Copies of this chain bind each other. A is one copy, B any other.
Amino acid sequence: MRRLKIVFEPYGRRLEIEEGESILEAARRASIGLRSECGGLGLCGRCRVIVDDSKAVSPPTEAERRLLTPEELEKGVRLACQTRIHGDLVINIPPESRVEAQRIEVKGLRRAVELEPMIWKLPLKLERPKLGDRRGDLERVLEALGGGVDVEWEAVKELPEALREGDWTITAILWGSTLIAVESGDTTENIYGLAVDIGTSKIVVQLVDLSTGEVVSTGAVENPQAIHGEDIMARMTYAMESPENLEELQRLAAEGVNEALKEALSRVDVDAASIYEAVVACNTAIHHLFLGLDPRHLAVSPFTPVVRRGFKARARDLGLNINRGAWVYTPPVVAGFVGGDAVADVIATGLHEAEELSLLIDVGTNTEVILGDGEELWASSCASGPAFEGAHIKDGMRAVRGAIERIWIDEDLEVRYETIGGVKPLGLCGSAVIDAVAEMLRRGILNPHGRLTAEGRRIKPGAPAEFIIAWSGETATGRDITLTERDINEIQLAKAAIYTASKILMERMGVEPSDIERLYIAGAFGSYLNPENAKEIGMIPDVPSERIRVVGNTAVEGARLMLLSKRLRDEAERVAEEMKYVELSNDPDFLNLYPRALYLGRFT
């Protein structure tokens, strides 16, 4: 086989290739972002390049003769996916063929991402059929598209009306090279995707404009699966009892997503039928339940998932109310207890490419902990309970309007607080609970075991003793808002799980908390968490504040990035394969470390 030398201009990138390779393949190997919406099938015509020697490449294919004018061919314009290289060659990539990296804003982060969704739209102007023309509606569309297109039944059902309503102008919606839907007229402006995070307690969706990468609306609901258990083990047990139970949990997850979507759609003028793909990140157990896959083998050694790789299913089969031809992509999972949400966390923060030792803690009912330095990547997941989301706390609530979100305690033990929306308080959200515990520790009225050790007008003795944060006269409920010793105990359990998971990963990598150069706090807290207080109670390692980033929901952000970029899905696949993980329930260190971790105090 002959080896050939090629150069990509204007990059000046040189490459040795094997005779017969296509220009698109070569460009990929040279890491040159060349547009290829149709995946190299000669359909989209976006992969145009200019070659300096027509004799060094294969003759124009049918697709090229369809998509390029004779004058263009004359000038050496070719489709990279169609053109095979047979001699040394200089290839020029014109600006319109380059995939431009967009800066995508992720809370507290800015990732440069090439906008390359799986979904693309192509407007087609067709000829009206005449008598004697034997082509059916579908043949007419497929001829305009060119060969190699797979067709979904749903798309065909809509075809006759779409064609005639739009007076023979339609828009083809393709997932790679599969025709999944058609719409009358030119609807290329309207192209949306859905990024979804199904958490143990909460489902969050982002409605994403696939043409810009922007989030145009969001929605969130409680995960309706919770009626069969707040923790994930209870739900797995329920699912294992019968196939009907599994189906029910599948349906509940889908309904939750539909509800959150409804909320998102209520605020904008977008039709659910304009959403053509959803990317759904969740932990491994919820991943199985959402896909209707039996989770029973996740729970027992050797903790085998049914599907590990990124997977696609039809939205309609799963019960999502988006376009009837839409697909759902679930990112790869890592292991029984480290799921696609952890992978999404990594993709959102770029942790796998980090040049500094970085720790990510994605706090939720299950907390994902990920540690990496650009070489190694370690992950673990622990059941931290819903205390940080305001549940299992006497006066706890979600971080919504009326929740106390920040608390300060003076030296004379008087309390100042702020509520979300600046209204009379209804209860305490997670960040306020952490503030309260940290401040009580600072003021010396709480010992490391979680006992209230002082007296005063704000302290109600008893079993459990309580600390009054807001007097009944100030609250919207007319009752005192307090934090009880039992609440504090919940916080201890939760932070101990996170502490232990983090500690074990650090031990595996042979690093100390003080070595951590970047600490990401992700999860439901949003921007409310005061990292100083989280450090005070030992929930996160004690690193200087400037190293800490509170980054919000990185699972849904990672899902969004995968919605926007095929390349990031490949990267997710690599991350999932290479990530090392610790199954905590199986780890001897866990039982050693956990009791100590219950102590309230700094994590050094």
Contacts and interface: CB of A to CB of B under 8 A. Distances in A.
Contact of A304 (B137, B161, B334): B137
A139 B309 contact: yes
Given A157-B292, A160-B293, A136 B309 contact: yes
Contact of A20 (B20, B132, B314): B20
Nearest to A140: B304
B129 A307 contact: no
A471 interface: no
A160 B309 contact: no
B132 A307 contact: no
Contacts of A313: 153
A306 B132 contact: no
A457 to B, nearest CB: 57
B153 A306 contact: no
Given A129-B304, A131-B301, A302-B131, A294 B136 contact: no
A411 interface: no
A293 B160 CA distance: 8
A426 B159 CA distance: 49
A301 B131 CA distance: 7
A135 interface: yes
Contacts of A156: 291, 293, 306-307, 311
A129 to B, nearest CB: 5
B577 A134 contact: yes
A132 B301 CA distance: 10
B136 A304 contact: yes
Contacts of A292: 157
B302 A136 contact: no
Interface string A158-171: 01110010000000
26 contacts: A1-B86, A131-B301, A131-B302, A133-B304, A134-B308, A135-B304, A136-B304, A136-B305, A136-B306, A136-B307, A136-B333, A137-B297, A138-B306, A138-B308, A138-B309, A139-B307, A139-B309, A151-B311, A153-B314, A156-B291, A156-B293, A157-B292, A160-B293, A160-B297, A161-B294, A164-B297
Most buried by B among A135, A139, A314, A577: A139
A296 interface: yes
Query: What 4 A-B pairs come out closest when comparing CB atoms?
Result: A136-B308, A136-B305, A131-B302, A153-B313
- Chain A interface category by residue count: 35 or more
A130 interface: yes
Nearest to A19: B20
A278 to B, nearest CB: 14
B153 A302 contact: no
A438 interface: no
A308 B153 contact: no
Given A160-B296, A296-B160, A137 B307 contact: yes
Most buried by B among A20, A134, A153, A297: A134
A335 interface: yes
Nearest to A307: B138
A317 B153 contact: yes
Nearest to A314: B153
Given A136-B308, A309-B138, A157 B302 contact: no
Contacts of A302: 129-133
Given A139-B307, A153-B317, A156-B306, 5 more contacts: A134-B334, A137-B306, A138-B306, A160-B296, A160-B306
Interface in A109-141: 129-139
Contacts of A86: 1
A181 to B, nearest CB: 15
Interface string A432-445: 00000000000000
A546 B126 CA distance: 51
A577 B139 CA distance: 12
B308 A139 contact: yes
Given A20-B20, A129-B302, A130-B302, A308 B135 contact: yes
Interface in A145-191: 151, 153, 156-157, 159-161, 164
A307 B140 CA distance: 9
A229 B239 CA distance: 47
A165 to B, nearest CB: 12
B130 A160 contact: no
Contacts of A20: 20
Contacts of A304: 129, 133, 135-137
A208 B294 CA distance: 33
Interface in A430-468: none
Interface string A41-56: 0000000000000000
A247 to B, nearest CB: 10
A291 B139 contact: no
Contacts of A311: 138, 151, 156
A92 B94 CA distance: 48
Contacts of A306: 136-138, 156, 159-160
Contacts of A133: 302, 304
A259 to B, nearest CB: 23
Interface in A277-336: 291-294, 296-297, 301-309, 311, 313-314, 317, 333-335
Nearest to A301: B131
Contacts of A151: 311
A125 B561 CA distance: 38
